[in-house]
Structure 1
Amino acid sequence: MTSLASETSAAPRPPLPPDEPLTHPADGPVYGHQKPRVFTVPSTRLSSAGQEAVDLAARAGLTLDPWQQFVLDQGMSERADGNWAAFECCVNVPRQNGKGGIIEARELWGLFIGGEKLILHSAHEFKTAKNAFKRVEALIRRCPDLHKRVKNYRYTVGEEAIELHSGQILRFIARSKGSGRGFTGDCNILDEDMILGDDAMDALMPTMAAVANPQIWYLGSAGIGAPSVQLGRLRRRALAAIESGVPDPSLAYFEWSINEHADECVTGCTEHDDLDAPESALVANPAIGYRLTLEKTEHERRSMGAEGYARERLGVGSYPSDGRDTWQVIGQDAWRALAAADSEPEGAVSFAVDMTPERSHAAIAVAGIWRGGTHVEVVDHRPGTAWVTARAKELHERWKPKAWIVDAGGPAGSLISDLADTLGVEILSPKTREVAQAAGQFYDAVTDQSLSHLDQAPLATALAGAQKRPLGDAWAWARRGVNVDISPLVAATLAKWGLGAEVEAEVDPLDNIW
């Protein structure tokens, strides 16, 4: 049975204001994007201590790039009551861009201006924490006004610290399950946050519970899979805030990365960033023009594999789930158990179309009766929408379906008129209550094991990222975040519903063949 699913340092220039766009002067250096592609901050900002941190760093000989100043300005935003607007700040940027400068400026401010009693700087490896200690020490020693306020530089291995006469302490530790326990930190700096799991968080997070105005900073590069547990959580929160248009109330998130192509992208896709395009390196590396050059990134691309270059230079990360953020509606095991090796539905079939709200992808799904239950498949799933009508015409002429279904209130509703004209049939559109009924029927069919499918990746991925949204007294499918495409799931759900919908048959049902 044949299935239907057939990326030499340039001389610095004067700082740019944070809102200045990327420039490409024909006769001068090229600069990376100074604003992050993925960005969210709490909406409670009234003022910021960021400029104090920038100015203090300059006194110590540390001149910050515009993007570093932007992060400090936004991350150190203050509410009307004087407390931090963001309890958590996360900076996700490829290596060698200068995240260390942000760390150093924030720590200097906490010691010498902010009056933070204890600042804990942790890294995954001891040598990283020790190098950070040496850099901050050098900055302080270069500024006599700051150095004279230091009571002691502690060099004991594993207990490196800087202590002021006024009592403030900056400690440097390597992370472990027990490190940080017993310390009450006003500010926690978690370097190398792409290697940060539950053990370290369980040890460090409680240290801030007794602090009146605590803040935690996560800094690192793209996720590397299973070790990036906490970074994955933070990123999902940021994406959810961006998707909903409602800022996370306690998170400031800054990510420089490309919007990489998906597996479904066709040749020539212009909606995503090409790995080899110079512009991709600029999008993901704000330090280009300051301490990096475009030429250097091009050398890296020639020497590195595609996956390594995408991760290390373009910020394309792998972020694990902690199990609470995926497969929330239908369990993975329950879904996989319904997979069929083939399909041969009996009688009429129905097709449905859906697309993402931002119109980045669309999907066509089909449903038919098989072995006493319903079988669903994703017939086509591609970027964009221009292909849908022509593909629908091919399917209609070949399979002569009972119905075509599109939710008029959904993103694909704009296609109804063209589809009707092209196919010469009425496009069935469910009412609001019927959209809820369709989701309920799909769910029930999985529960009672009367549904089958081909275990296709687009449908499984959609189910893994789907949530419920209230619809009257019932519910319909909802996306978990901006990076979740549930159009294959919605299309399959509507196609199944269409099998039982009342439509006028325009062809002999006996002519319908799967």
Structure 2
Amino acid sequence: MNAPARYATPRDLRYRTFGGKVAKLAAQMGTPLMPWQRQVADVALEVDERGVHRYGVVIVTVQRRAGKTTLLRPVFAHRGLTVKRAGLWLTAQQRQDAADTWSDTADAIEDSPLRRVVRRRSANGQECLRFTPTGAKLRVFNALSRVALHGKDSDVVFVDEAFAFTEEQGDVILQGAVPTMATRTGAQLWIVSTAGTAASTWLRAMVKKGRANEGGPRVAFFEWSIPEDTEDLSDLDVYAAHHPAIGHTMGMDALRDAQATMKAHEFARAYGNFWVSSDEWAIAPVVWSGARTFERFAPGAPVAFGAEVAADRSGGVICAAGTLPDGRAAVEVVEHRGGIGWMAPRLLELAERHRPVAVVIDPGSPAGPVHRALADHMKRRGRWVPLAEFGTPELLDSNTEFLDGLTAGTLAHRSHERLDAAVRAMGTRTVREQVVFSRLVAEDGTNPAAALAAMLAHHGLAHPVPNERPALTVASG
């Protein structure tokens, strides 16, 4: 099986290429190029009539375990063997990640016939693989150091897992790397990554330009991924049809094992190269649309409520979570009004009528006054409400569970105009290095409170508060 690229700069047969030479080196190193790797090498290493590389920037976005590192190795080796005093540089999201990739590359070269022409120094922080015929050196640099490459010359700079960088961090990398390539004829910047998250603004911008063929004549772009309109993100046949290593170095068992052990949205990102969220949306439209339902909660099913207040406290919304007849969890809007004074009394009424397994409100959010009002009422009146504890750990879990449920098809939402608008308006922020949904109002004035309330309700359904009395059955509404 040879999965076709969904986007790829085409080969121009008017120009010769070093792709064949790189393929021979790959075979010598024990990792013959797969068809997708050979395609990239043939195009990316085209040279003009002067023997200069036609592309100064090569962007490759591909699934995990596709073999991007085994493509990198012979590219480095070829340049190291053919360009005098070539500067070959490698970086990644963490310096240690880059050092590990450097070590794997050095191992592969030393385990091949090329071992006779290299010298290795592995001192931590001073890693260097020197190609003795040319004096070229393969080294590691810190991506986010503004002075890491100052005073250096670069013939190849390889940035691995670019999804880990924001646009601002990407600018730091470019400011450090690009000037070092200015005096080196045929220098290339390789940027390789799997799809990222909403925080991956640097990579996302490059992908958008690459897909639209707007990168410029000196940029080669390649992407292997499952389609954006994939309806069933659990269908392994879809992943297999678009993963370029399946049938070569990977089989279906590896996909099944990964799916069984990973969160659904992370599996879609890693093995489908699928953007579940991006700078354009916190939840991919196809994911949200695919989770739509018009069914009501199953009779007798437990229910949980979540409440959220707009960032400017102009209004609030209450959502419910329950279980559908087919066993899926589902969320729906219960009520939304201006102001917030109505929310605590309404939640008390709902709790009395439906005996929920949890009522979830983030006390550190704009809905804090509602949370305090319920807690005070319980204290003064002795009326118990299953008010859930909710802090940063629960915030992180609830975001992951909500996105994971939508992606895996285990969570549905009852169609509602306000909920749809809230999802479209919802942005993201970063908490403890994890991307979570933001409550900030969108540019058009739409607030995401309904989506956040739905997320809280879903969290409550998944994590019931120990109840002091038996829960009653409930119908939605």
Residue number among 184, 190, 197 corresponding to 1:224 in the alignment: 197
Residue number among 275, 282, 285 corresponding to 2:243 in the alignment: 285
1:266-296 Cα shifts (integer Å, max 9, x gaps) = xxxxxx4531223321233111122221233
SS of the aligned residue for 1:223 comes to coil
SS of the aligned residue for 1:254 comes to strand
Q: 1:300 to 1:113 in 2, by over 3 A?
A: same
Residue number among 112, 115, 123 corresponding to 1:156 in the alignment: 123
Q: Distance in 2 between matches of 1:86 and 1:192?
A: 20
Q: 1:190 to 1:159 in 2, by over 3 A?
A: same
Task: Map residues 60-459 of structure 1 onto 2, 5 A cutoff.
Answer: 60-115=29-84, 117-144=86-113, 146-150=114-118, 152-165=119-132, 166-178=134-146, 179-196=148-165, 197=169, 198-226=171-199, 228-241=200-213, 248-261=216-229, 272=230, 274-317=232-275, 318-320=277-279
1:181 to partner: Cα distance: 2.4
* Conserved? CA contact 2:121–2:127, under 8 Å: yes
* Conserved? CA contact 1:163–1:169, under 8 Å: yes
Q: Distance in 1 between matches of 2:10 and 2:198?
A: 25
Q: 1:213 to 1:32 in 2, by over 3 A?
A: closer
* Conserved? CA contact 1:42–1:86, under 8 Å: no
> Once the two structures are aligned, what percentage of the paired residues are identical?
25
1:48 maps to which residue?
17
1:448-485 Cα shifts (integer Å, max 9, x gaps) = xxxxxx99859x89xxxxxxxxxxxxxxxxxxxxxxxx
1:86-132 Cα shifts (integer Å, max 9, x gaps) = 11111111211211111111111111134461111112222222222
SS of the aligned residue for 2:239 comes to helix
- Which sections of structure 1, spanning at least 5 residues, go unmatched? 1-30, 262-271, 322-340, 342-453, 462-514
1:172-223 Cα shifts (integer Å, max 9, x gaps) = 2232223222221011111121123222222222211222221111112112
SS of the aligned residue for 2:164 comes to coil
Q: Distance in 2 between matches of 1:303 and 1:143?
A: 35
Q: Distance in 2 between matches of 1:456 and 1:308?
A: 23
1:73 to partner: Cα distance: 1.1
* Conserved? CA contact 1:104–1:136, under 8 Å: yes
* Conserved? CA contact 2:155–2:184, under 8 Å: yes
SS of the aligned residue for 1:194 comes to helix
Q: Distance in 2 between matches of 1:57 and 1:187?
A: 17
* Conserved? CA contact 2:198–2:278, under 8 Å: yes
1:348 maps to which residue?
none
Q: Which amino acid aligns with 1:307?
A: H
SS of the aligned residue for 1:308 comes to helix
Paired residues, what number? 285
1:148 to partner: Cα distance: 2.5
Q: Which amino acid aligns with 1:161?
A: C
1:314 to partner: Cα distance: 0.8
* Conserved? CA contact 1:238–1:253, under 8 Å: yes
Q: Distance in 1 between matches of 2:60 and 2:85?
A: 21
Q: Distance in 1 between matches of 2:161 and 2:58?
A: 14
Q: Distance in 1 between matches of 2:31 and 2:46?
A: 21
Query: What TM-score, normalized to structure 1?
Result: 0.51
* Conserved? CA contact 1:94–1:284, under 8 Å: no
Query: What TM-score, normalized to structure 2?
Result: 0.54
SS of the aligned residue for 2:74 comes to helix
Q: Distance in 2 between matches of 1:116 and 1:50?
A: 21
1:58 to partner: Cα distance: 1.2
- Which sections of structure 2, spanning at least 5 residues, go unmatched? 281-314, 316-417, 426-477
SS of the aligned residue for 2:53 comes to coil
SS of the aligned residue for 1:174 comes to coil
Q: 1:122 to 1:154 in 2, by over 3 A?
A: same
Q: 1:213 to 1:74 in 2, by over 3 A?
A: same
Q: Distance in 1 between matches of 2:274 and 2:27?
A: 32
Q: Distance in 2 between matches of 1:66 and 1:284?
A: 13
Q: Distance in 2 between matches of 1:44 and 1:176?
A: 38
Q: Which amino acid aligns with 1:281?
A: Y
1:343-366 Cα shifts (integer Å, max 9, x gaps) = xxxxxxxxxxxxxxxxxxxxxxxx
1:356 maps to which residue?
none
1:401-421 Cα shifts (integer Å, max 9, x gaps) = xxxxxxxxxxxxxxxxxxxxx
* Conserved? CA contact 1:188–1:215, under 8 Å: yes
Q: 1:140 to 1:320 in 2, by over 3 A?
A: same
1:214-257 Cα shifts (integer Å, max 9, x gaps) = 1111112112222x23312221221221xxxx883011111111
* Conserved? CA contact 1:284–1:315, under 8 Å: no
Q: Distance in 2 between matches of 1:294 and 1:273?
A: 20
* Conserved? CA contact 1:45–1:77, under 8 Å: no
Q: 1:142 to 1:456 in 2, by over 3 A?
A: closer
Q: 1:224 to 1:114 in 2, by over 3 A?
A: farther
Q: Which runs of 4+ in 1 moved over 4 A?
A: 41-45, 454-458
1:371-420 Cα shifts (integer Å, max 9, x gaps) = xxxxxxxxxxxxxxxxxxxxxxxxxxxxxxxxxxxxxxxxxxxxxxxxxx
Q: Distance in 2 between matches of 1:273 and 1:71?
A: 29
Structure with the largest fraction of helix: 2
* Conserved? CA contact 1:260–1:274, under 8 Å: no
